[in-house]
Structure 1
Amino acid sequence: MTRYAIFIHRPITLWSPARSAPPVPFAASAVYTPDDPFAVEFAVPSRDGGEPHSVLFARGLLIDGVAEPAGDGDVHVAPHPDSDEWVRLELPIDGRPAEFYAERSAVDEFVDATCLLVPSGREAAELDLDGMIARLLGAGR
């Protein structure tokens, strides 16, 4: 098992489709750390300028969703129905689904960077279960 002191952080613009106006851009960020090798985190700015919304979901969902619709729960990722240049993301924001679009090239770049750090299929080898259990037990004292 390899321990890393690095992580992947990429700014990514998410576009929120507006029904009666031009799409609204959000300067979000995508984060990946080998400490939780199965997950990615998207931080989406709050519309009111408050704390960003943090959405943690399976990296595999993001990997799969670029090519074909993926997700059965609160998070869904799929290619844009009309353009290969965009990816559709549905993320839970304030307990409700929020629809966003991101440039596929930005999502691909982020996914590629995460796979260079921890190749897809090697996530389990990176888990430090003993360390996680020790931290959980130590936190309760």
Structure 2
Amino acid sequence: MSTHQDKGKRAFVIAALLSFLGALAHLLTIFAGAHGYRTMGAGEAMAKMAARGELYPTFVTLGICIVLIVWGVYALSAAQLVRALPLRKTALVLITLVLSARALGGLYLATGEHSVLGNSALFWLISSLLCLGYAATFLIGLTTRWKRL
């Protein structure tokens, strides 16, 4: 395997680790309850719903967790550490686009007087920069391993 291919494989392994860490952070948020939602910047409305025992925050957070796990498995598939998954190339492009859109949209929200779901500008800034780095790992993997996908 060439060094160029090694770089792409490493990028996908990093993307998978970021996915699984993100999923774990979301699970820990659920178990931490209202305090976890506040700490993670989910907004006061989500924290209050969690404090009242409503299921909405749990379902939303579990949904995000599942998506992140699927993205991690696709990244491992692209790194050829698990079997080739269906529509792998298409899925990886879509994942990269979704993460990029989330990052750019969040950066826009961080710059103004926008209050979406009660999240602070600091939440939007930090989470968007994380998403931007996360998208970059997928993009590096895609551009260096495109022919092998």
Greater per-residue strand proportion: 1
Tell me whether the two structures share a fold, i.e. TM-score over 0.5.
no
* Larger RCO (CA within 8 A; separation ≥ 6): 2
Task: Please give the TM-score of this superposition, normalised by the length of structure 2.
Answer: 0.35
